[in-house]
């Protein structure tokens, strides 16, 4: 997961080294989306595996405050793995819907909105 994070971060950072509109820049952005989405889906996979087969208790046991600290740190890591990719994904989706509405002038955006009675 750490390597995927690094790859997602590095691909968007290095995309700036290529000229705007170039194929290489688009390819780096596409890599960024792929790595980012992989983080998102792998996080859910990890979470479901963890719920299905709980991790063994540490032996010898740890003080209560250390177990609590570890639990919270893990929860924060899972939240990060799920929350980081979301804004990019949503912004993408939103940009494409606006493109359809204002540039192509089709009804894609209207079809996404709830029906008015």
Minimum distance of ligand HEM from residue 28's CB (angstroms):
10
CA 21 from centroid of its chain's CA atoms: 24
Least distance from C-beta 60 to ligand HEM, angstroms? Answer: 36
Cβ proximity to ligand HEM: between 84 and 109 the closer is 84
Question: b/e per residue, 66-75, with b = 16+ CB within 10 A?
Answer: eeeeeeeeee
Cα(1)–Cα(83) distance, rounded to whole angstroms? 14
Residues that bind ligand HEM (CB under 6 A): 5, 8-9, 12, 29, 32-33, 36-37, 39-40, 84-85, 88-89, 91-92
Residue 38 vs 109, nearer CB to ligand HEM: 38
Q: 92 Cβ partners below 8 Å, 6+ apart?
A: 33
The least distance separating ligand HEM from the CB of residue 29, rounded to whole angstroms, comes to: 6
């Amino acid at each position: 997961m750490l390597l995927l994070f690094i790859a997602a971060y590095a691909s968007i950072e290095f995309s700036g080294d290529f000229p705007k509109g170039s194929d290489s820049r688009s390819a780096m952005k596409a890599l960024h989306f792929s790595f980012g989405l992989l983080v998102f889906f792998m996080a859910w996979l990890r979470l479901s595996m963890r719920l299905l087969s709980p991790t063994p208790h540490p032996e010898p046991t740890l003080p209560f405050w250390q177990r609590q600290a570890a639990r919270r740190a893990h929860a924060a890591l899972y939240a990060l793995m799920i929350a980081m990719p979301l804004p990019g994904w949503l912004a993408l989706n939103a940009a494409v819907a606006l493109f359809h509405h204002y540039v192509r002038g089709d009804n894609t955006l209207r079809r996404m909105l709830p029906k008015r009675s």
